[in-house]
Amino acid sequence: VSLAKPSQHQTVRVALGDRSYDIHIGAGLLDRADDLLKPLGFGNTGVIITDSNVGPLYAARLQAALARGGMETVVLTVPAGEVSKAFRQVERLIKRFPQLKLDRGSVVFALGGGVVGDLAGFVSAIYLRGLPFVQVPTSLLAQVDSSVGGKTGVNLPQGKNLVGAFHQPSLVLVDTATLKTLSQRELRAGFAEVLKHGAIYDARFFAWLEKNDKKVLKLDPAAMTHAVKRCCEIKADVVSQDERESGLRAILNFGHTIGHAMEALADYEGLLHGEAISMGMCCAAWLSVKVTGLKQADAKRIETLIKNSGLPTRIGGSLDLVQLGRAMRLDKKSRGGKLRFVLLSRLGKAVVSDAVTDNDIEEAVDVFR
Ligand SMILES: NC(=O)c1ccc[n+]([C@@H]2O[C@H](COP(=O)([O-])OP(=O)(O)OC[C@H]3O[C@@H](n4cnc5c(N)ncnc54)[C@H](O)[C@@H]3O)[C@@H](O)[C@H]2O)c1
Ligand SMILES: [Zn+2]
C-alpha cells in the first residue's frame, strides 16, 4: 500500500546534552510514527498509554504506524480526566509491564493530553529506573506546554503534582490534526498557554497572535503549526537553560500563582487550568504595571487578547481573599512563605519578583472581580 505523500512538518530541537530530543510538528504525523522513531533505534516492543476519550479516536492509528516499523505495542487505557493522575493508575499500569515483558529497550508512548503525558511519563521514569518515552500530545495544552520539558508526575489528595520525576522524552510527535476532535473549550484553554509564551518571551509572537488568534482557534493548519512551533521553541529554549527549575524556568508560571490558587479553591471542578491562568495573567499583568513598570497599554493588550479568544478575565465576586492567600502560600512554588511572583517588565520579558505584597494581590484581585 502506498501511503499519501508525507505532509510537510517542522522540527524543534530541545538541547539538553545527551538528553536532547526533537519535537516534530505537523498535520498527520501520527501515521508517520514509524519513520520518525526509526533513527532512535529502540527495541521492537512498546506500550501505548492513553485515556478513554483519546484511545478510541487515535490509538489504532498509532499502533498501526508502529507495527509498520516492526514495533509491537499494547494499548493501556485510563479513564479520561485529572482523577487518573494518581498512584492508583500508576500501580495499575506498571503491574502490567512485567507481564508484557517490557525491557529497557521498550518504549512507553503517551497518547493524550497533559494528564496522560504526566502519568505515562512518570510510569516510564520509574519502571526499571527509566524506560524511553515518547510524547504524542493531543490537546493544545499538551502540544504547546506539558509534553516538552520532562516534568512528569501524579497528584496526591493533598495537592496537585506533589509527586514526580524529571524524565525527558526521547521524542515528541505533535500531530496538529488531532486537535479537530478536541472541544472548543479545551482548545481555548490551551490557547491561554499559547499567549502566555508570547507575553513572557516574545513580543513579536504576541503581536502575531493578536492578528491571527481567530485563525489559530479555527485550526487553520499553517497558523496552528506556526503557533505550536513557536511555543515549543520558547519552551525548549527556557528548559535547555534551566532543566530543573532553579531559575529561569519559573517564568513559565506567569499567571499561575493566582491561577493555581483559584483552581485549588474551585476544587479543580468546573474551572479549566487555562481558564484559571487567564484570570491569573490579567492580575499578574496589572501587578506588573504596579511593581515592575509594565506599560498600562501592554497590560490592556494582554487582557484584550484573553477576552477576544473567549477566555475569562473576571474572577467573579464570590472568591474569598483569605482563602486565596492561603492557597497561594501552600503552592509548592512559594519558598519560606514568601511569594515569588512572575511579572513582566515589558511585553515579552518576564522577571521574578518578591516585591509583591499581600495588599497588592488583594488590589489586583479586586480590579478583576
Ligand atoms: N508536565 C508539565 O510540564 C505540565 C505543564 C502543564 C500542565 N501539565 C498537566 O497537564 C494536565 C492538563 O492537561 P490537559 O489540559 O491536556 O488535560 P487532559 O489530559 O485531561 O485533556 C483534556 C481533555 O481533553 C481530552 N482530549 C485530549 N486530546 C483530545 C483530542 N485530540 N480529541 C478529543 N479529546 C481530547 C481528554 O480526554 C480530556 O478529557 C494537568 O494535569 C497539568 O498538571 C503538566
Ligand atoms: Zn499552565
Query: Which of 29, 61, 122, 141 has most ligand 1 atoms within 8 Å of its beta carbon, as the pocket-test mutant?
Result: 141
Instruction: Write down the pTM of the prediction.
Output: 0.95
Ligand at minimal distance from the CA of 189 is 1
How many residues in total does the chain contain?
369
pLDDT band at 178 (very low <50, low <70, confident <90, very high): very high
| Binding pocket residue ranges, ligand 1, CB within 6 Å | 51, 53-54, 57, 80-82, 85, 112-116, 118, 138-139, 141-142, 145-146, 149, 151, 160-161, 178-179, 181-182, 186, 273
**pLDDT at residue 5 greater than cutoff 60:** no
Ligand at minimal distance from the CA of 253 is 2
**pLDDT at residue 2 greater than cutoff 50:** no
**pLDDT at residue 11 greater than cutoff 80:** yes
Kindly report the number of other CB atoms within 10 A of residue 57's CB atom.
Answer: 15
Backbone angles phi, psi at 32, to 5 degrees: -115, 15
**For residues 177-197, average pLDDT:** 98
**pLDDT at residue 166 greater than cutoff 80:** yes
**For residues 36-61, average pLDDT:** 97
pLDDT at 187: 98
pLDDT tens profile 232-284: 999 999 999 999 988 999 999 999 999 988 888 887 678 999 999 999 999 99
Backbone angles phi, psi at 223, to 5 degrees: -65, -45
**pLDDT at residue 319 greater than cutoff 90:** no
Q: 61-75, 207-221, 225-239, 355-369: which has the minimum mean pLDDT? A: 355-369
Kindly report the number of other CB atoms within 10 A of residue 366's CB atom.
Answer: 12
Average pLDDT value for the chain: 93
Kindly report the number of other CB atoms within 10 A of residue 108's CB atom.
Answer: 27
**pLDDT at residue 335 greater than cutoff 80:** no
Q: Who wins on pLDDT, 359 or 281? A: 281
Query: Which of 118, 176, 251 has most ligand 1 atoms within 8 Å of its beta carbon, as the pocket-test mutant?
Result: 118
Task: Name beta bridge partners: 22.
Answer: 13, 171
pLDDT band at 188 (very low <50, low <70, confident <90, very high): very high
**pLDDT at residue 315 greater than cutoff 90:** no
User: Ligand 1, closest atom to CA 161?
Assistant: 43
What positions carry a catalytic annotation? Answer: 129, 151, 193, 235, 245, 249, 253, 256, 260, 273
Q: Who wins on pLDDT, 5 or 27? A: 27
What does 61-101 look like in DSSP terms, one character per residue? HHHHHHHHTT-EEEEEEE-SSGGGSSHHHHHHHHTHHHHTT
pLDDT at 171: 98
CA of 154 to the centre of ligand 1 (A): 13
Q: Which amino acid is at 246?
A: S
pLDDT at 1: 45
**pLDDT at residue 147 greater than cutoff 70:** yes
pLDDT at 268: 65
Residue with CA at minimum distance from ligand 1 atom 6: 146
**pLDDT at residue 332 greater than cutoff 60:** no
C-alpha cell at position 134: 515518547
CA of 228 to the centre of ligand 2 (A): 15
Ligand at minimal distance from the CA of 118 is 1
Pairing of strands 107-112, 159-166: unpaired
- The share of the chain scoring above pLDDT 90, in percent, equals 82
